[in-house]
Structure 1
């Protein structure tokens, strides 16, 4: 069996690679390594309640007390783990993956995702089949009933509520049938907004527009923003830790442009603050950080890594290109609800619409794509792309190729799906297109060649 923990926890298809036995084994290892008090929550996927039941049983059998947070956004579960002072926690979720998938995220003290070294240690125990320490003391189950309300209050308390309420914003909320449907509308209503809901019923089949808030899937959001003359549209992923934004004219903005705008808002309030981002994020982040005399750290892709680097460096914020934003004064984890509230705070302070605020940022042209790639071919692709690269090579995560004019491209394996991702960026649109076509074609050719050789064998 290959590596269990990917970029963000364990993912798989229940009954296939995410078996009941594996889920139970994870529970026993969590109890053995993290401690007596474990918080447990889950997203709205159809298989989440059953997998949660299996996890509860295994944790109780291993002697841990389970604090059952239940159905909630991942950041709300993380906050509940921190507020409860638990030794750690488990979230049953597959985030943005298709509905047939599910997964497991393991949290440590404070609701922070466990470190990569802890993942490796747990993985060895899970896969080793070595009998784990047994106990005659069975844990007890404790329902947690206030996680959503506590989360809403905490998010609202981390922005200037009075300033936002004076603006009486109109907001369209697209929860994508995910669990932010339970909290995001409440956050906006507490901030004095008029809310128009879209796909705000929790449904693990994600019938509205799927669990991934990519721009091409957000037509209903954009149409509703224009129809009701809203100030802002927001769209969340399946477990509610990421958000994408739509301006008042119906234009969807990329995760890193929206994140850079929020950075400008946060960093402008105090010079010298630290920020963490990944090698796949726009150079716009460098521009905004430098403009505000901040300090930027670029690391590998993964919310685990961003959180750990933020904690280590004392960074105020972190961001990813996919709409993940981390705000340390709230909690140093991806949090879609907190990010959306921060955007309202920024717009209220600037007293300008989102389209005008975005227009203050310089333009960087991007191309993004993905190709199906079996997991066992990913290392081959990375190795061969590196050999063919014609610029400065950075191998922090996959292969990032940088050029003297500031343009760049990156080829990296997905840590959650059998995919290779190809991004390019330049301030010249033709260059961004050329780099994207070059590296996409290279990756495509490598995969086809490797698969042809495999078929011959």
Structure 2
């Protein structure tokens, strides 16, 4: 498959594609951007501890003190890396990729740093100042946990909320967010029904066990990925990852947000919600860093990605935050049915096609040669808008050797028909 270096970090099959030498090299480059402190966290993959140990050793070699959070989600690490605290962070995770994979995410001053930027900076990986000491490693997982959760409850003004034992089904994929989401549920007065599976990517997994739980009395189902930056919320109706973003944006607008930014791979339901709530909507390329850039350039208070069930709120964390999204969704229980009416109108289907042998220029030619679309958008891959409710997006993946295909329409049958047609078109480009 090969090592993937992108705006989403560096990741690959470990140790075949991602090696410990890669870990050392990327950490050295990142260390050249730091002053004297860096937070470090990891997900629960078998290989994460070894990779974290190597990253810690390299940081300390460069005179940087390491604040090791142990097993902790990406949003906790990013918030801890805020300039007012540690200032930088490294997260050991391959996020939603298979368990055999692993990787690194980098954060500086409260924002994730694209790994492809580090690759471009590799020629200047030596620190300009002399190194007079070896860094020290501190373990601070419990303090980081309590600080993050206390900040979250203050930000959302949730202290005093009492769900009085309402049941919520939770699947954390045995990942780094488990202790955090259980603490959130307990503080809010919910009764957690833990149903952890090996669904590393909740946006592309069969979540039938959570559907069953919701059908049997749980008010909500929540599935998080391995590093806790994605949260899928199931309300009992047809599920799509965009529902998380839809629910959270509705709450964000209630909280005073007047403009939002989302990736182009996001359901029309979000567009309809923004129109109804008189909120300005902007689009970006797919990828968390691209959404954050658009948010910052345009002063957007919130944003995210429908395709990845990712939600970002600028006032709290400039990264996808599955814990924040979960807490927001839980606080919206009395309005869920109303908000989900926007989602019911549309069917979305997403998938991927093996990119080996695929000629991307050929895909572009085939797509643009069609005459059944009203608008073509080439911001990120090619998005063909067929009518007010129907679109098709074809783009190369940032994290895998695949071509991603997304289709949305009001009709499930038409959605599936279009998906099959464009899937074959992509394969024909080989």
TM over 0.5: yes
TM-score using structure 2 length: 0.91
1:210 aligns with 2:199: yes
Q: Aligned to 1:420, what secondary structure does the other structure show?
A: strand
Q: Distance in 1 between matches of 2:70 and 2:330?
A: 29
2:231 paired residue number: 243
Q: For 1:138-184, what per-residue CA distance to the aligned partner results, in whole angstroms no more than 9, with x for missing partners?
A: 22222223122222222222334357415543211111111111210
- Pairwise CA distance, 1:5: 2.5
1:142 paired residue number: 138
Which segment is superposed worse, 430-439 or 43-52? 430-439
Q: Quick check: 1:311–1:332 contact (8 Å CA) kept in 2?
A: no
Q: Aligned to 2:398, what secondary structure does the other structure show?
A: coil
Q: Equivalent of 1:281, from 258, 266, 286?
A: 266
Q: Quick check: 1:413–1:421 contact (8 Å CA) kept in 2?
A: yes
Q: Equivalent of 2:210, from 208, 221, 241?
A: 221
Q: Quick check: 1:256–1:319 contact (8 Å CA) kept in 2?
A: no
- Pairwise CA distance, 1:378: 6.0
Q: Equivalent of 2:278, from 293, 299, 306?
A: 293
TM-score using structure 1 length: 0.86
Q: Distance in 2 between matches of 1:172 and 1:264?
A: 22
Q: Distance in 1 between matches of 2:400 and 2:157?
A: 39
Q: Aligned to 1:307, what secondary structure does the other structure show?
A: helix
1:418 aligns with 2:401: yes
Q: Aligned to 1:262, what secondary structure does the other structure show?
A: helix
Q: Aligned to 1:179, what secondary structure does the other structure show?
A: coil
1:194 paired residue number: 191
1:335 paired residue number: 321
Query: What does residue range 99-248 of structure 1 map to in structure 2 within 5 Å?
Result: 99-110=99-110, 112-114=111-113, 116=114, 119-126=115-122, 128=123, 135-145=131-141, 146-161=143-158, 164-165=161-162, 168-199=165-196, 208-214=197-203, 216-227=205-216, 229-247=217-235
Q: Distance in 1 between matches of 2:299 and 2:213?
A: 40
- Pairwise CA distance, 1:43: 0.8
Q: For 1:212-260, what per-residue CA distance to the aligned partner results, in whole angstroms no more than 9, with x for missing partners?
A: 1136521222222333x1111111011111111122xx44521213322
Unaligned runs of 5+ in 1: 200-207, 448-457
Alpha-carbon spacing, 1:182–1:382, altered in 2? closer, same or farther (3 Å): farther
1:31 aligns with 2:31: yes
1:70 aligns with 2:37: no
Alpha-carbon spacing, 1:378–1:210, altered in 2? closer, same or farther (3 Å): farther
1:325 paired residue number: 311
1:434 paired residue number: 417
Q: Quick check: 1:69–1:80 contact (8 Å CA) kept in 2?
A: no
Q: Quick check: 1:382–1:398 contact (8 Å CA) kept in 2?
A: no
**Cα RMSD, aligned residues only:** 2.5
Q: Distance in 1 between matches of 2:6 and 2:121?
A: 16
- Pairwise CA distance, 1:431: 3.5
Query: What does residue range 36-75 of structure 1 map to in structure 2 within 5 Å?
Result: 36-75=36-75
Aligned length: 425
Which segment is superposed worse, 379-388 or 151-160? 379-388
Alpha-carbon spacing, 1:438–1:388, altered in 2? closer, same or farther (3 Å): farther
Q: Quick check: 1:42–1:72 contact (8 Å CA) kept in 2?
A: yes
Q: Distance in 1 between matches of 2:264 and 2:173?
A: 28
Q: Distance in 2 between matches of 1:130 and 1:166?
A: 51
